[in-house]
Amino acid sequence: MQSNNKKTIHKVSIFANNKKAESSQLVSDIQNFLTSRDVAYDTYLTFDAYDIKKVDKETSLAIILGGDGTVLSCARLLHAYGIPMLAVNLGTFGFITEIAKAEWESAYLEYEKGVAAVSRRLMIRVSVQRKEKRVFQSHGLNEMTISSSGLSKMISLHLYINETLASFFRSDGVIVATPTGSTGYSLAAGGPILDVNLDALIINPICPFTLSNRPLVVNGEDIIKVIVPKGQKTDLALSVDGQVLFLLEEDDEIVIEKSRSKALLIESTKRNYYEVIRDKLNWSGGLHA
């Protein structure tokens, strides 16, 4: 859905993965472009979500140069500010970064003119309760994963949906994925692909011992709780977007719910979501399908 509302961009935050060879020149090009338009900017060349505590409240737009991993880090930082993200793909396999590096200027201008739509992506909030005390909280755009952190892979988990015991299962772990994350780790573990605008979550056991345990799609308003029962034969860890790690203990309660805020991603006018997954997954038919 396209917007016809023109945007006034006062200030831009540039986040660049400086491990990408193209980022240095592209940052310089963007800075020169913004200067020519009298738009103020901040630049973060060595982006790490833990090093940046806050961004200027006057920021109107974030330009992100990197791959999907860079966007995931930025989403955790920016979602609470309601800052739209113009994600430019410098990676090798980007589902989230729809905009090619040669298209950043046209994408910026299309957003400014109100031509480019903004996709409001559901995020999850993950918290861990331990002995009635919250010991961890994070947000994620892709997924939350609970898995073994030791040599043994098989773990046991209780799954609750809205306080109803839905399953007790043994597996290599469990993934709770958003529609955006449905093309990530969850897809590799046999989960379905969801339209990114759906209000839904995927609960996906990883290699379950009982083959009847299959991926489950639930309403985005549902509250998911995972309890780590006693008697585990390995240590367990929780990860958010594959970037934030927290070690779990027996009797921990992990609560996964829809975040109150969303990640705002500027859409490409050159291609849509289904064209991206068609090309990325090589849904071309023939011998290479």
Domains of the chain by residue range: 11-121+262-288, 124-258
Q: Around Cβ 254, how many Cβ atoms within 10 Å?
A: 23
Q: Can you tell me whether residue 70 is helix, strand or coil?
A: helix
| Residue 109, pLDDT score | 96
| Residue 118, pLDDT score | 94
Catalytic residue among 68, 222, 241, 279: 68
Q: Is 42 tagged catalytic?
A: no
Token pair belonging to 11: 């200030």
Which residue matches tokens 């993965």? 17
User: In angstroms, how far is the first alpha carbon of the chain from the final one?
Assistant: 30
The CATH number of domain 11-121+262-288, selected from 1.10.3430.10, 3.40.50.10330, 3.40.50.10540, 3.90.226.10: 3.40.50.10330
Token pair belonging to 148: 């073994």
Helices 23-36 and 104-113: angle between axes, nearest 10 degrees: 40
| Rounded Cα distance, 18 and 14, in Å | 12
Tell how strand 85-89 and strand 61-66 pair up: parallel
Amino acid at 59: T
Count Cα neighbours of 107 within 13 Å in the Cβ-side half-sphere. 28
| Rounded Cα distance, 205 and 191, in Å | 9
| Rounded Cα distance, 23 and 18, in Å | 6
Tens of pLDDT, residue by residue, the chain (289 residues): 445 688 899 999 999 988 877 888 999 999 999 999 999 999 988 655 456 667 888 999 999 998 888 899 999 999 999 999 999 998 765 778 878 889 999 999 999 999 999 999 999 999 999 999 999 999 999 999 999 987 778 999 999 999 999 999 999 999 999 999 999 999 999 999 999 999 999 999 999 888 778 999 999 999 999 999 999 999 999 999 999 999 999 999 999 999 999 999 999 888 777 777 787 777 766 555 4
φ/ψ bin of 176: left (φ > 0), alpha (ψ from -120 to 50), beta (otherwise) = beta
Question: What does DSSP assign to residue 11?
Answer: E
| Rounded Cα distance, 19 and 21, in Å | 6
Query: Domain 124-258 carries which CATH code?
Result: 2.60.200.30
Token pair belonging to 278: 């068609």
Question: How much is the pTM?
Answer: 0.91
Question: What does DSSP assign to residue 282?
Answer: T
| Residue 75, pLDDT score | 94
In sequence order, what E strands does the chain have?
A: 11-16, 40-44, 61-66, 85-89, 99-100, 118-121, 124-130, 133-140, 143-148, 155-161, 164-171, 173-177, 200-206, 216-219, 224-227, 236-240, 244-248, 253-258, 263-266
| Rounded Cα distance, 28 and 99, in Å | 18
Amino acid at 170: R
Length of the chain: 289
Q: Around Cβ 151, how many Cβ atoms within 10 Å?
A: 8
In CATH terms, are 11-121+262-288 and 124-258 the same topology? Answer: no
